[in-house]
Amino acid sequence: MHHRGSRSRVAPWTLVLAVLALAASACSRTSQPPGPSSASGSERVWHLGQPVIDSHVHLSPNMQALAVALEIFDRVGIGRFVVKSAGPVGSPRYQASLAMQRVLGDRMRAFANIEWQGIDDPRFGERQAALLERAKADGIVGIKVFKALGLGVRTADGALLSVEDARLDPIFEACGRLGLIFAWHIADPVAFFQPPTPDNERYDELKIAESWSFHGKDYPSFETLMAQQERRIRKHPNTTFLLIHLGNNAEDLGYVDRLLDTYPNVFVDVSARVPEFGRHPADAVRAFFIKHQDRILFGSDLIVDFDGRLQLGSVWHVPDQQPGIDEAVEFFVRHWRYFETDEAQIEHPTPIQGRWKVDAIGLPPAVLHKLYVANAERLIFSPPSADTNRNNP
């Protein structure tokens, strides 16, 4: 969901690459974990007795982070996973992420990211499109664009770079031409655009992570970003969009429903938004998931930092509450309970994301299979070739 921007550490990437190469045999032995075991004190939740695909994780490409992630995945029944932060094409992080993918084989896929330095170069878009050609050849399946686009990247005159800036057109078009998925985090929950005062429902987070507030200054409004997102989708019908965080608008199921009805090139994931859409009546959410069962992917937004520290869908550090592996297991079990049972007023996966409970939606097995496995398998692990009509998912 969010990433620290204040920490700086020079990663020993050469050592990372060497150690990853030596780890190939050990990791291959865990490529298909058994069914999930119960979390401490929690009932066993089997999710159809087969490994789930987590389509949205952020995993630093080194052995410490990988070891922590694999322990969590094996305990909760995550088989394959998709790293959404492989880094800008050609960067040290990118090279290490590719090495990690080679080690893990079919268990991992990766999305590259955009380096925004040089945005004032008139040929910025064309240069990025050329890098995407290389990414495709390297086995990258898409690019993930963070909320910095629209809310952080500035041009030489100090203005925020607009999502609709024409310099970005070649990037969107190249994704469509190459068959690369455009995964997009364009906005945070509505509360983050409101005054960060104690009566804000997300104040628990905002008082810790002040930079997450996009209220005032020259930030575009939440409504403006939603309109810009839709205009981009309409402008690039041959590009497949994976709108993370349930279309970046989990509070408004009607908006996401209309988006999916209107644009066949749009998919969404559920990452870090169970607290938001879980507040809707369970019957309405269940109906939404059943209606769009071919277009929704499971994702957790789990982050494992370079030193093995964890982020579970929200802030990095809550005083005296740094999460460990057991907390990560419980984080996943709460997802399974929400999607698989019909329990009322249960704890959602990330309590700091709102002091409320949610009603589980008890999806049918066939829908669960698509959410947990089939949709990500089809879209990410066995994607259509670049010359396939992307408008027929």
In this structure, of 179-188, 256-265, 353-362, 365-374, the range with the lowest mean pLDDT score is: 353-362
| Local structure of 130: helix, strand or coil | helix
Fold classification of 13-381 (topology level) = TIM Barrel (3.20.20)
pLDDT band for position 92 (cuts 50, 70, 90):
very high
pLDDT at residue 245, as a whole number: 96
Please say if the pLDDT value at position 28 is more than 50. no
In sequence order, what E strands does the chain have? 52-59, 78-83, 108-112, 142-145, 181-184, 241-243, 266-269, 296-297, 302-304, 310-312
Over residues 142-153, mean pLDDT: 96
Which amino acid, residue 21? A
Percent of all residues in the chain with a pLDDT value above 90, rounded to a whole number: 71
Please say if the pLDDT value at position 315 is more than 50. yes
What is the full DSSP assignment across 323-381?
A: --HHHHHHHHHHHHHHHH---SSBPPS-GGG-S--B------HHHHHIIIIIHHIIIII
pLDDT band for position 106 (cuts 50, 70, 90):
very high
Over residues 114-122, mean pLDDT: 95
pLDDT at residue 389, as a whole number: 40
pLDDT at residue 7, as a whole number: 36
Percent of all residues in the chain with a pLDDT value above 70, rounded to a whole number: 83
pLDDT band for position 388 (cuts 50, 70, 90):
very low
Highest mean pLDDT among 42-46, 298-302, 380-384: 298-302
* Nearest residue to 266 via CA among 171, 380, 393, 168: 393
User: What are the residues whose beta carbons fall under 8 Å from the beta carbon of 178, sequence distance 6 or more?
Assistant: 132, 133, 136, 386
pLDDT at residue 313, as a whole number: 79
Mean pLDDT estimate for the chain: 87
CA angle 83, 301, 256 (to 5 degrees): 110
Q: What is the pLDDT of residues 325-340, one digit of tens each?
A: 999 999 999 999 999 9
More confident residue, 40 or 304: 304
